[in-house]
Every structure is written in C-alpha cells, then in structure tokens.
Structure 1
Amino acid sequence: MTATATPPNELTATVTIAAPPAQVWAMVTDVARMSSWSPQVVKTVVLGGPVRLGTRFVNINHQGWKHWPTNAKVVRFTPHSDFAFRIVENHTVWSFQLEATADGGTAVTHRRETPNGISLLSRSLTKLAFGGQEAFAEEMVEGMRQTLARLKADAER
C-alpha cells in the first residue's frame, strides 16, 4: 500500500485488492458502510434514493472527543471506475478510483482533491481544533491507509 501527501492539498493512498472492480465499486458506493472502514466516519446517512450522480449524504465524523457533521454531494459516478463526492463545508473532493489489474483484482486509489482550494472556514477551524493543515493532512493520509486496508480485508473475505 502506498500513500502520499502532495503539498499543499492533494492526498492519496493506493492499494491492490484481490477482488474484481464490480465488487469493489459496489462497496465504495455503499457510503452508509463507510464507518466500518474509515477511522474518522462515525455514521453516514444518505438523503434520498440510491447513490448516484447528484446524491447527497451527511457524515458524522470524529477525532477523539471532537465530532462534526459534513454534507456531501456525489460529483462523479462512473461505474467500476470513478466515484467522488464534494464536501460542502470545505470544498474538498474525496474519491475512489478503480482500475482492473491483470490478475482480476482492482487497484484502488483513495484521494482527497482540492480543485478549488480549501475553504477559509475549514482552514481556520483546522488550525484551531486540529493542530493545523499539515498535522491534519498527516492524520487524514493515515486514515486513508486504514480505510483502504479495512476495505481490502472486507473485500477479500
């Protein structure tokens, strides 16, 4: 598994899973299950019907005793390939990009993108409550690694 922080804002982690892209796709797009993989997500509530382009959902996140909600909207939805959602509060885009491997598995890249930067409110709160962007980014990369490791273990059962 690899993970990188591309200063100042894009974060990535990648893993290869011994499961076909269709199976991994079904898992990552079932956002209500994210709390079983992500160390930061406590609960996800999908607003409306099945997850697809434009679907909205709410996450309850935590770090220690601190809890906060985020509102998300699915902004990319290419079956078996690219699933991404934008967080309203901080403008970041979180994605899972899937690529079939020669042995029938799936290379999964989990990414936090910042195509329009990070909101001033989020940068300010991160500085006050989470030790600043650099420390929080390191924690997020570790969380992405854990998310992918747990997803891999679940998919390979």
Structure 2
Amino acid sequence: MDEVSISIAAPPERVWRLVSDVTGMGRFSPECKGGRWVAPASGPALGARFRGRNRRGLIFWTTDCTVVECEEGKVFAFEVAQSKVRWGYRIEPDGDGDGVVLTEWREHFGRPHLLIRAVDASGLVGFRRERLMVEGMRTTLGRIKEVAERG
C-alpha cells in the first residue's frame, strides 16, 4: 500500500466535498482528468459507480469505478475495475484541532486486466509507474490543500 498525507487548515466537510467530487478531480490530479457519475448515481454514495477519465502524455483512457467507502467528513474510497486498485482518502483531525490531516492511499486488490499489464510494461504511461503514482498523490494533495484553505 502507498499513502501520502498532508495537513490542511480547513474543516473536514470542506475537504471531503473536494475529494469526493469525482467530476472535479481533474483540477487536482496530474493524471486523472475528472469523471462522471453513472446513472442512477448522481453523487458520492456507497456502491455508486462512476467513469474516470485519465491522461498521461499522449495516452488517454477511461476507468470503471465503484465507491466502496463513503462517510462524509471522514472517508471516500473507490475501486477501479481495470487496474484492480483501490484508491481512498482519509480525513482525520490534526493535533491542534484547527484542521485535518488528509491521507490519500492506494492498494492493489487483485490482478489487473491483461491489457493494463501490457500497457504498464510498455512504458506508454511512464516507467517506474508505482513511483509516478506516489508523486502524483503528493501533487494532488498539495492542490487540494490550496483550494481547501482558500475556502
């Protein structure tokens, strides 16, 4: 499992709204360009499905995702069908009580589809893919922090 954390001077509900808005995630992530809820879902809820849009360099792809944890102000997590990766965000009070610690994490829960393994091995979406994912998590959290602290 990979995880990255950052302190944010903002209320947990505000941070949760940002991380659970899959339609707006493209403004934070260097790879995810956003998503759309799949009917009948229209927002974050346990079991809701969404389609993610991603890009790295010249390569574009979509993902089919299902929300597996969803508690306002505390946690938002989803599983990606193609890559068999579970992504999540945990929001916990910071030590001072003035904000939160936001942790983004990812873990593999199965073997990715053959096409995903082939593309990863080719380097088309970057060599040292696992390291790129952690670097992307750091970038994402930094951008979320900026927006959350502005209010």
Question: Fold match, TM over 0.5?
Answer: yes
Is 1:111 matched with 2:118? no
Compared CA separation, residues 70 and 120, structure 1 to 2 (3 A) = closer
Structure 1 gaps of 5+ residues are: 1-9
**Displaced runs of 4+ in structure 1, greater than 6 A?**
none
1:68-123 C-alpha deviation (Å, 9 max, x unpaired): 11110000112211110000101110000010113320101100112x23425233
2:118 alignment counterpart: 124
1:6-155, aligned counterparts within 5 Å? 10-47=1-38, 48-101=41-94, 102-114=96-108, 116-121=109-114, 122-128=116-122, 129-130=124-125, 135-155=128-148
Q: Secondary structure at the residue paired with 1:23?
A: helix
In structure 2, distance between residues paired with 1:95 and 1:118 = 19
Aligned-residue offset at 1:65 = 0.5
**Count of aligned positions:** 145
One-letter code of the match for 2:131? E
Contact 2:44 2:70 in 1 (8 A): no
- Percent sequence identity is 34
Measured in 1, the distance between the counterparts of 2:93 and 2:126 equals: 38
How high is the TM-score relative to the length of structure 2? 0.89
When normalised by structure 1's length, the TM-score is 0.86
Shift of the alpha carbon at 1:130? 3.5
Gaps of 5+ in 2: none
Aligned to 1:3: none
In structure 2, how many angstroms separate the alpha carbons of the residues matched to 1:21 and 1:118?
34
Tell me the distance in 2 between the aligned counterparts of 1:76 and 1:140.
21
Q: Note the aligned Cα RMSD (angstroms).
A: 1.4
